[in-house]
Amino acid sequence: MKDYEHPFFRPLWRRIAVVEVCLVWSVIEFASGTPFWGVIALGFAGYAVWQFFYLYKPAEENKPPAEPKE
pLDDT tens per residue, range 34-55: 999 999 999 999 999 998 888 8
Across the chain, mean pLDDT equals: 84
Q: What is the pLDDT of residues 18-32, one digit of tens each?
A: 999 999 999 999 999
Q: pTM for the whole thing?
A: 0.74
How is the chain split into domains, by residue range? 3-54
* 69 membership: H or E segment, kind and range: none
What span, in angstroms and rounded, lies between the C-alpha atoms of 14 and 26? 19
**pLDDT category, 6, cuts 50, 70, 90?**
confident
Q: What percentage of residues in the chain have a pLDDT greater than 70?
A: 77
